[in-house]
Structures are given as C-alpha cells and as structure tokens.
Chain A
Amino acid sequence: MPVYSDKVMEHFMNPRNVGEIENPDGIGEVGNPVCGDMMTFYIKVDDNQLSDVKFKTFGCGAAIAVSSIVSEMAMGKTLEKARKITPALVAQELEGLPKNKYHCSNLGAQALNKAIDDYLKKPGKKVKSKKRRKDEKE
C-alpha cells in the first residue's frame, strides 16, 4: 500500500458527497475500469454556481480521496472558479500524493470539467434550472 498523507486517509475513510444527483445539470465520466479508475461527477448549477456536486468512483484509495476533495473544493464555486481546480491544486489540498498516483488527481479535475462541459453543451439547461426554481417557489 502506498504511503498516503493523513488528509488522503481522512477523505478515503470518510468521503464527502458520495452519490448521484437525480436530474443533474451535468455529468462527467472519465477513466475506465480496464485502466483501473473510473470517476463519474454529477453537478447541479444555479445562477452559474455549483449548488451541488456528487460523485461515484471505482478505484484505489487515492482515486476516492481525490474525488471527495474535488467535490468539496468545487461546491458553491462559480463555473469559472471551478474550472480553475487543477490536478496540482488537488494534490496540494490533499497534502501530497504518491508519484504513481498523480494520475488520480488528473482524473478528478477532468471529471469535474467534463461535467461542466456537459452542462454548458445544453444551452436550454440554464433557463430550465431557473424556471424550475420558479416552479418550486410557486
């Protein structure tokens, strides 16, 4: 087993935001089980902000910890700010990752970006989410 930082261990043992979002505004799936890791991020966007982020991950301890910290880092951020979550920042936030696990931090950032891409690809989505909020108020 690689030597993980306390922060990685903490996020691995108690991962935040595990799960799926029903009717998400964006989904980002990266990796594949053949290569070892697979991450799926689900996002909910309100007023250009990530109002909810959830994930499901198949992979090693680092992959799970990365998913958890990325979800935490992204939560509540504007899309532009969430885009700025780089693999290096993820690794830094986790107090370092073993060298051969760096690719896990890449996957985390990629999965989040892909979910944002997915959201932005659907131009009607923004309107729809606003409309839904209105519906909820009514």
Chain B
Amino acid sequence: MRKVYLDHAATTPILPEVLEAILPYFKDAYGNPQSLHGWGDDAREAIEDARGRVADLIGAQPEEIIFTSSGTESNNLAIKGLAMAQQSKGKHIVISAIEHFSVLHSARTLEKWGFELTLVPVDRCGLVDREDVAKNIREDTILVSVMHANGEVGTIQPIREIARLAKEAGAIFHTDAVATTGTIPVNVKELTVDALSLAGNQLYGPKGIGALWVKKGVRIIPFLDGGVQEGGRRAGTENVPAIVGLGKAAELAKEEMESRMEHLSALRNRLIGGLLSRNEHVTLTGHPTQRLPGNASFCIEFIEGEATLMLLSSKGVAASSGSACTSRALKASHVLTAMGIPPEIAQGSLLFSLGLENTEEDVDYVLEAMPPIVDKLRQMSPLYAKFLKGERGGR
C-alpha cells in the first residue's frame, strides 16, 4: 500500500544531509562545548557554526540566538522572560486568540502571577485585525505577541504592521515563527520584531531543538538557572548534535527556500482545488491566499475528523484534525473556534500539511481516496440524513 505522510505541521522528517551532519556528534565528537580542551573546542566550534547558520537564515546576529529544547521552550522563555524583564514598566500583555498553547498558556501563567492579559480576536480567515491590536494596546502594555503563521489553518499574519503598533506604544513585540522559519522568508529586520521563536522539527531538522532570537539590547529573564551556557540566558549542557542538526537544516532551508516554496505551493493548490471540486460541502479553512505553502486545511461537513483520519490511515495516509474527538481534552481546536467556525462544522476539521518529499502522485492518491471515505461516513451520519431530508423538503 502507498504511504503518504501529510502531517508536516506535526513534524517534518529529518533530511539525510542533516542526519549525516549530526551523527559524528553522537559518536566521536562528544565533548562538552564549555570544556577547555580539544574535545570541547570541537563541540564549541560546531555549535557556534550552527548559531551562525541559524542567524543567517533569519537575518540576525549569531550572539542574538539562544538555543532551547523546542519551540515550546522558546515561546515560554519569550513570553515569561520578556514580561518579567519589563514588569517595572507595566503588567499588561496582548496576544492573539489563535496562539499556540505554549504562548497562550504561558500568558495564562503570567495572569496568575499578577499580569493582565488581553486576547485579540481573529476574523473568519484567521487574520488578526490591526485595529483590534491598536485598540487593545494600553499605556501599561509591555509585551505583544502574535504568531507569524498558524500551522493549523495556514494563515500568515501581517507581522510588520502589527509590530509597528506595539513599538509605537513602547511595547516589546514577539512572534512565534515556528510554522514559518525555513518555510517562507523570515527576516527579523524586515518583520521589525524584538524576539522570534523557531523550532528544528518544523524545518527538516531534529526534534528537541529550538531557538529564541532576542534583539540585542532587549532584556530577558532566564528561567533555567545554572551555568554560563547561551550567554547565561539558558543554562544546561548544550544539545550539541541537535544544535548541529538545526544549523544544517537552516543552511539548507536558506539555499532551497524558493524551490521549496514553489514545490509546496503547487502541491497545495492541486490538493485544495482537487478536494473542493471532488467533494461537496467542504470548505477551506484559513486565508485563501495569505497562507503557508504546504497548508491545505478544510472542514468537511456532516462527518467527524477522527473517523476521517482513521479511514485515511487505513489507506496509508497521515493527516490531522482539530476536532474535539481527536484531542485528549475532547475540545475543538481553539483556533477554529476563535475563527468563528461553529462547533459542529469544526468537528469535520481535516488538515493536510505537505512537505518536501511529497509528490503530485501523493496528492492524486489522496484525492482518489477521499470521496469514498467522505461518502462512507456521510452514509452513516444522521446529520447528513437530516440535511438531505431538509433539502428535499425545501424543494
């Protein structure tokens, strides 16, 4: 059976070149970068080299990069660390309603610590309205955080414009660029942000590695105390192999950015166009044009996401869903909810996130597989039966 992985929003596979770059640091080059001998020197050079490549990918200075364990840690460090460093100026934070849980829950923790939080809404396409941000920024607002793009629905935010509003008000601006770094051009100077999070497993690097870029001069309070690693901003022996892997992945992403975007956009458009034309009562979620190249997300009416995933899986296709039944907490995706999608429609959420290794044949295979799956579940669905009766009654 053909196997088609279309869940790159969850994690990308690791590229062979990246794996190759990593392996020596699991074997012979095992030194601690802080050690003052040959082994230490090799490891230190390797991570500094990687730091340079990551900085290069986002148009930053190497010393501004803090390596972390994940996108989640980067976001935690950014939200809590930047807010704590700014608290003498005020205690108000503004974030969007569709942030990743690592931002949203960090901000909720700050609330418990005495900060005030405002969530700005998004429209039906998942776009943050600049007016709403402007309205909610106050004199005591110290931090604004809006994600560059949302991996679930693919919508890319006008970060530069939103960042300007924050800066005009004297607030620090952070963006979670985990879904975009390595996928679309991300340049900290062009985005005019103060801090930016990224993660290795979203750009064909390893898991367990992320980075936070903090602009020189912007203060941040670390929350891992210990040694002098990462300029004292993130203690703990460096994860050398993973850092090397992230560096290599960043280098490749920069080199291949344009061709990757072209490849992914073409596949995405084929998948979106094909799915919408071959299946009735399916809507595209997220923005029609301002969206991630590999993101094809839908709501399929009258059926439920988990059941759809199970049938897709039986055909060898891996995808994901924001339906309540697919989440451990049995709650529909907060992103879809914030976009005003009714809960019964959100139940039919289905996300295909494409990657470099996918082909037109993969897309066509999925397009062939979908209609019988949708049909099978609709034949079972009392909602579909009601819909059909209602429609007939209406005529």
Question: What residues of chain A have their CB less than 8 Å away from a CB belonging to chain B?
Answer: 1, 9, 12-13, 15, 18, 20, 29, 32-40, 56-64, 100
Contacts and interface: CB of A to CB of B under 8 A. Distances in A.
Nearest to A103: B330
A138 B304 CA distance: 46
Mostly, the A contact residues are: mixed
Contacts of B218: none
Contacts of A37: 304, 325
9 contacts: A1-B306, A18-B380, A20-B385, A36-B325, A37-B325, A38-B383, A56-B380, A60-B326, A62-B325
A59 B385 contact: no
Given A20-B385, A64-B380, A36 B328 contact: no
Interface string B19-50: 00000000000000000000000000000000
Contacts of B328: 100
Contact of A36 (B303, B304, B314): B304
B382 interface: yes
B87 interface: no
B307 interface: yes
Contact of A59 (B307, B332, B343, B384): B307
Nearest to A31: B382
Interface in B99-143: none
A36 B380 contact: no
A86 B184 CA distance: 54
B343 A1 contact: no
B259 interface: no
Given A1-B326, A36-B330, A56 B382 contact: yes
Contact of A57 (B332, B344, B380): B380
Given A13-B314, A33-B344, A60 B380 contact: no
Of A12, A18, A20, A60, most buried by chain B (CB within 10 Å of CB) is A60
Nearest to A20: B385
Contact of A40 (B310, B343, B347, B382): B382
Contacts of A34: 342-344
Nearest to A8: B310
Nearest to B379: A18
Interface in B321-345: 323-326, 328, 330, 332, 342-344
Nearest to A34: B343
Of A32, A62, A64, most buried by chain B (CB within 10 Å of CB) is A64
Contacts of A56: 380-382, 385
Contact of B383 (A9, A58, A60, A62): A58
B302 interface: yes
B269 interface: no
A61 B306 contact: yes
Contact of B382 (A15, A38, A60): A38
Of B309, B325, B332, most buried by chain A (CB within 10 Å of CB) is B325
Q: Which 3 A-B pairs have the closest CB atoms?
A: A33-B344, A60-B325, A60-B306
Contacts of B342: 34
Mostly, the B contact residues are: helix
A51 B187 CA distance: 69
Contact of A1 (B309, B324, B330, B347): B309
A20 B324 CA distance: 26
A18 B375 CA distance: 13
A56 B385 CA distance: 9
A61 B307 contact: yes
Contacts of B309: 1
B237 interface: no
A64 B385 contact: no
Contacts of A58: 302-304, 347, 380-384
B304 A59 contact: yes
Nearest to A12: B310
A32 B303 CA distance: 13
B310 A15 contact: no
B313 interface: yes
A60 B382 CA distance: 13
A36 B307 contact: no
Interface in B45-102: none
Contacts of B381: 56-58
B382 A1 contact: no
Contacts of B384: 58
A106 B343 CA distance: 21
Contacts of A33: 343-344, 347, 383
A63 B306 CA distance: 10
A29 B256 CA distance: 55
A34 B343 CA distance: 5
A23 to B, nearest CB: 15
Nearest to A4: B310
